[in-house]
């Protein structure tokens, strides 16, 4: 096997971490039949009895600031994602609520499914956030109601402000929107080195897998990586950045590779542009070719989370192909396989003598080493 002379660093290739429980995407199989006036009375009574904080700012809610810790707070917004976990849990369901009038989203756990927890529903939620020192990282739902069922005078100030700037408020009520990024400002055109002429509109969809953070990451780590990704692509909105970061951390953990390698790979594949498309047809953040996407089980390469899952899964497979080698060789050869293909690496007996592949492997491995040595969490 030959390794080109510019590879001078020994890199960390993989980490041994136990797998996580499987996740299931699901919608409730129940129907909602509560009369609006009954639903409103129930919710408003719960809000009054719990002395819920109704004046929390968007920043306080999204950052889980001291104003909300240990309190029941009212959050108004639109449900943009939900997931159920196959394993037993006190909160088997989580959903993602984009806060009214903003691009910030919060994660809310639920003890049991509810007919109103559907993607696209615009709701008011009473949710409790643990006090400082407690382990959970998500809000816990106490009550929920359709925003449309509440009298305007009783709605959260954020929801009212948003409605006042909406041309047709009725259109925002209880609509099903399975593309959480629809209607948001679009990203810039693909930044691939080989950008292709537009044939059809490319839409990057975030999907709905939102795993529990407890085993695979911390809030501090997520925040640090969000800042790093945002600097690489300032055009991303905060919801997109969080989705990208949490998905990379989760699937790196699940497929037992170093997440810093995954972040470095995505940086040089797409520069964190979810709509990146090459002349050759490589798609999305990890630049999956159609055949590779099918091979790793990706049905929609423009789904941000599916794309990241597929890319990390494929990279992990290449790493494990060379698990009998040193960490350095394992990383270099896996990156070469990712760029040029496993067969090309086998034929060359190492990194192929392709300028593009050699440049790619050097840049990704150098960034990986930089992230590792700088102490990125």
Active site residues: 269
Distance CA 345, CA 35 (A): 65
Using CA of residue 156, residue 159, residue 161, residue 163, what is the dihedral sign?
A: negative
Distances in Å between the alpha carbon of 154 and those of 12, 38, 149, 158, 163?
55, 14, 10, 12, 13
Residue 350 CB neighbours (<10 A): 16
φ, ψ of residue 56 in degrees (nearest 5): -65, 140
Place of tokens 């998905």: 247
Q: Are 81 and 96 in contact (CB under 8 A)?
A: yes
Euclidean distance between the first and the last CA atom of the chain, given in angstroms as a whole number: 33
Tokens describing residue 42 = 């129930």
Nearest residue to 120 via CA among 46, 183, 210, 57: 183
Q: Which residues pair with 94 in a beta bridge?
A: 83, 109
Place of tokens 């392709």: 354
Distance CA 238, CA 53 (A): 24
Q: How many helices (H) does the chain have, and how many strands (E)?
A: 11, 6
């Amino acid at each position: 096997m030959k390794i080109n002379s510019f590879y001078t660093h020994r890199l960390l290739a993989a980490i041994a971490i136990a797998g996580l429980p499987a996740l299931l995407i699901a919608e409730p199989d129940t129907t909602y039949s509560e009369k609006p006036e009954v639903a409103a009375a129930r919710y408003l009574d719960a809000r009054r009895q719990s002395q819920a904080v109704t004046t929390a700012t968007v920043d306080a809610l999204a950052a889980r600031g001291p104003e909300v810790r240990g309190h029941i707070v009212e959050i108004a917004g639109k449900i943009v994602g939900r997931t159920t976990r196959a394993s037993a849990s006190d909160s088997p369901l989580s959903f993602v609520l984009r806060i009214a009038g903003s691009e910030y989203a919060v994660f809310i756990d639920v003890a049991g499914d509810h007919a109103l927890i559907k993607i696209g529903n615009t709701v008011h939620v009473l949710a409790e956030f643990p006090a400082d020192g407690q382990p959970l990282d998500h809000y816990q739902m106490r009550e929920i109601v359709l925003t449309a069922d509440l009298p305007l005078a009783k709605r959260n100030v954020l929801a009212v402000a948003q409605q006042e700037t909406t041309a047709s408020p009725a259109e925002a009520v209880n609509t099903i929107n399975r593309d959480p990024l629809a209607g948001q400002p679009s990203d810039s055109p693909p930044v691939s080195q080989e950008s292709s002429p537009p044939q059809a509109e490319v839409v990057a969809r975030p999907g709905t897998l939102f795993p529990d953070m407890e085993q695979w990451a911390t809030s501090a780590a997520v925040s640090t990586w969000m800042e790093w990704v945002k600097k690489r692509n300032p055009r991303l909105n905060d919801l997109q950045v969080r989705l990208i970061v949490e998905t990379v951390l989760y699937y790196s953990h699940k497929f037992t590779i170093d997440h810093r390698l995954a972040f470095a790979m995505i940086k040089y594949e797409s520069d964190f542009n979810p709509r990146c498309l090459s002349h050759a047809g490589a798609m999305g953040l990890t630049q999956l070719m159609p055949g590779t996407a099918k091979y790793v089980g990706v049905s929609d390469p423009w789904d941000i989370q599916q794309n990241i899952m597929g890319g990390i899964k494929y990279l992990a497979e290449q790493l494990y192909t060379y698990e009998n080698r040193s960490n350095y060789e394992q990383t270099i050869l896996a990156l070469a396989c990712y760029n040029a293909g496993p067969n090309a690496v086998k034929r060359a007996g190492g990194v192929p003598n392709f300028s593009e592949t050699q440049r790619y492997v050097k840049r990704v491995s150098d960034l990986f080493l930089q992230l590792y040595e700088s102490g990125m969490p």
